[in-house]
Amino acid sequence: MNRGQWRLARVGGVGWALALALAPATAAAQATNEPAASAAPALNAGSEVRVTWPAIIAAVDRHPSIAAARYERTAARAGVDAAGAAPNPNLSVTTGYGLARDGSESRVEWGAELSVPFGWLAQHRPQMDAAQAHADAVGAATRALRRELLVELHGLFYGLVYAQERVIALEQLGEQTTALATTVRRRVDAGQSRPVEAVRVEVEEERVRAELAVARLEVASYQHRLALWLGLPPGQSPKAAADLSALPRPPRAEVVRDRVRRRHPAVAAATAQVHALAADVSAERRARVPDFALGVFANSELDRSAYGATLSVDLPIWNYNAGNIKRAESKWAAGRQRLEAQRLAVESAAVELQASCEASVTLAARYRDRMRPRAAEATRSIERSYEIGESSLLEVLDARRLALDTRTEFLRALARAQTDCSRLAVLLGEKSS
């Protein structure tokens, strides 16, 4: 209910009569709903675990997705070793029993040939480059995945910080409203205030209880999700430890664009993919070099013994590898375009986050320096006026509601500033360790 609606209820005789008629029902509803509000999950100091940002980073490093990415990186590094290994020589041995044509002689015959391939030398370097580039891409993709998880966890972390601070604010308002309700009832009993004012303050008291119950449910939701990430045992709830009031300093937009272009792992992964595709093109071009192998042989037969060397050459007569080269070149060109698209996407996201960070910090600073102090001063002034009978109860409730809304918006602005600026820092690789 806004201030104008309270004024109408204050001056309308029908509104006062209706409020007085509903007073018993309001008290009954309060008695009925109070146990439900108190049953809302509260922060249990005995089961809380203090959680800081380094603990969040450790949780990210234990995540199954990161563990799977590490195995992928190990496999990619093993692929580099496999690409650099020389092929094994080929040994062929034959044996049999030989008979002369006239049947006068017979003996065991045998033959052996050792062949060493050398055609792989032409493609050895590009294959090594491709495997190393693939390993670099997997490593960069792992770092990019880690940053994405950090951004997600950072939102949960500061969401919990904001929810905790809101619970504290509502608890303080609840204590103030309860004290005000006691004062109003005492004034009603003394005939200094009308009975409807007691109803009004009781409704406001119940309203604060309901908001507090919802805020505690929000805290519990954040705690449950963070507990899953942190692997806490049942019965333990995380409590985020962070200072919302320490506003970060947003970096300049041109600095953000330069850093993200040079350091972001998604750009590094796309760059490594381009290097791998370029190495594939080189490998396909070198595949035109005829494959050859050198070998030696020895044969022992019934009527002769032979020793010598062999040379085998793969002649590119029917296929000169033109199709594979064209395919590799097209993939390389597509990879360069994807790299440019990735750079544009990352820079765009960084510029957007930089603007959000700067706007959030500006808004939070304005709430801190101007709006919140004025709302608090107005509340204190109206409360003093009410104590000496110069202000009405509705003005007191209105001022306190304004102070709560201003504090809530201030906390939300602080949390938004921390979240946006920290997401930007994670994007730039400044809060990853």
Q: Which domain holds residue 72?
A: 3-86+120-287+322-427
Joined together, the tokens standing for residue 410 give 């201030």
CA dist 260 and 423 (Å) reads 13
**Angle of the 322-366 helix axis to the 253-263 helix axis, nearest 10:** 150
Confidence of residue 40 (pLDDT cuts 50, 70, 90): very low
Q: How far is CA 92 from the centre of its chain?
A: 57
Counting beta carbons within 10 angstroms of the beta carbon of residue 77, is it exposed (0 to 12), middle (13 to 18) or buried (19 or more)? Answer: middle
In the chain, what's the furthest Cα-to-Cα distance? Answer: 144
Counting beta carbons within 10 angstroms of the beta carbon of residue 64, is it exposed (0 to 12), middle (13 to 18) or buried (19 or more)? Answer: exposed
Taking 50 as the threshold, does the pLDDT of residue 310 lie above it? yes
Sole residue written with tokens 């007073």: 23
CATH of the domain at 387: 1.20.1600.10
Give per-residue pLDDT as tens, 340-395.
998 888 888 888 888 988 898 999 888 888 888 888 888 888 878 877 777 777 78
User: Which residues lie closer than 8 Å to 418 by C-beta, 6 or more apart?
Assistant: 158, 161, 242, 244, 248
For 95, phi then psi, to 5°, come to -150, 155
- Residue 101 inside a domain? The answer is no
- Residue 209 inside a domain? The answer is yes
Taking 80 as the threshold, does the pLDDT of residue 129 lie above it? yes
Give the ranges where 12-119 is alpha helix by DSSP (H).
13-38, 53-61, 64-84
CA dist 393 and 133 (Å) reads 72
Mean of the per-residue pLDDT values of the chain? 80
- Residue 164 inside a domain? The answer is yes
Amino acid present at 148: E
Sole residue written with tokens 């109803």: 199
CA dist 209 and 171 (Å) reads 9
Confidence of residue 177 (pLDDT cuts 50, 70, 90): confident
- Residue 310 inside a domain? The answer is no
Taking 50 as the threshold, does the pLDDT of residue 2 lie above it? no
Global pTM reads: 0.66
Beta strands in 67-146 (DSSP E): 90-99, 106-117
Give per-residue pLDDT as tens, 100-113.
877 778 888 899 99
CA dist 269 and 72 (Å) reads 14
Amino acid present at 81: D
Q: Say if CB 325 and CB 250 are below 8 A apart.
A: no
DSSP 201-212: HHHHHHHHHHHH
Q: Say if CB 319 and CB 286 are below 8 A apart.
A: no
- The CB density around residue 43, as the number of other CB atoms within 10 Å, is 15
pLDDT at residue 337, rounded to an integer? 94
Q: Say if CB 128 and CB 83 are below 8 A apart.
A: yes
**In degrees, to the nearest 5, what angle opens at C-alpha 415 toward C-alphas 372 and 254?**
105
CA dist 93 and 109 (Å) reads 11
CA dist 216 and 40 (Å) reads 7
**In degrees, to the nearest 5, what angle opens at C-alpha 422 toward C-alphas 259 and 65?**
90
Choose among 141, 215, 162, 161: nearest CA to 53: 161
How many domains does the structure of the chain reveal?
A: 1
Q: What is residue 241's three-state secondary structure?
A: coil
pLDDT at residue 104, rounded to an integer? 78
Q: Say if CB 130 and CB 276 are below 8 A apart.
A: yes
Q: Say if CB 226 and CB 49 are below 8 A apart.
A: no
- Residue 103 inside a domain? The answer is no
DSSP secondary structure letter of residue 45: G
- Residue 316 inside a domain? The answer is no
- Residue 381 inside a domain? The answer is yes
- Residue 196 inside a domain? The answer is yes
Q: Under the phi-then-psi rule, with left for phi > 0, alpha for psi from -120 to 50, and beta for the rest, what region is 231?
A: left
Cross-strand pairs, 117 = 293
Least confident of 194-203, 237-246, 383-392: 383-392
Confidence of residue 218 (pLDDT cuts 50, 70, 90): very high
